[in-house]
Amino acid sequence: MLPLLEKELIEKHQWISSTDFIDIAAISEMTPGPIAVNSATFLGYKIAGVLGSIVATIAVILPSFIIISLIFKFISKFKSSPYIEWIFRGIRPVVLGLIGAAAVTVGKTSFVDIKAVIISILLFYLVSIRKLNAILGIILAGVMGIFLY
């Protein structure tokens, strides 16, 4: 979702800067709910106030809701089919690739200096290897940012 949002918001429409995009992505990832909905709400508010946030949120939610409802009806009828299982097995690598692409995109604009790289490596280690709670990781990154910047 992040590469799509970046292309639309920065490159195509030039509604926000790369720095604003990273801020929106960071806030959207920290708040509960899907990143697309959180980003749309925040961006809609930034561009057109409360009405903009409402319209942007509905515009992001409605298509997904309709598509997922149709897919659910279809999959419910064929849930025991091996073809459905094969489809899901094929989707998994695509999802991993999209997550990797988003990580590269965010990394390009987030790693502004050596301090940012050190914070990210340390937090990656603590959260993924030492199993630190992700919320505590976000708080720790914020504290480190306050002291280092």
d(CA 118, CA 135): 19
User: Both 83 and 22 in a single domain?
Assistant: yes
Q: How many domains does the chain have?
A: 2
d(CA 38, CA 20): 14
pLDDT at position 105 over 90 = no
In the chain, % of residues over pLDDT 90: 38
Q: Which domain holds residue 118?
A: 111-149
Return the closest-CA partner of residue 142 out of 66, 1, 30.
30
Q: What does pTM read for this prediction?
A: 0.53
Q: Give the number of other Cβ atoms within 10 Å of residue 14's Cβ.
A: 8
pLDDT at position 143 over 80 = yes
User: Both 96 and 118 in a single domain?
Assistant: no
Give residue 101's pLDDT.
87
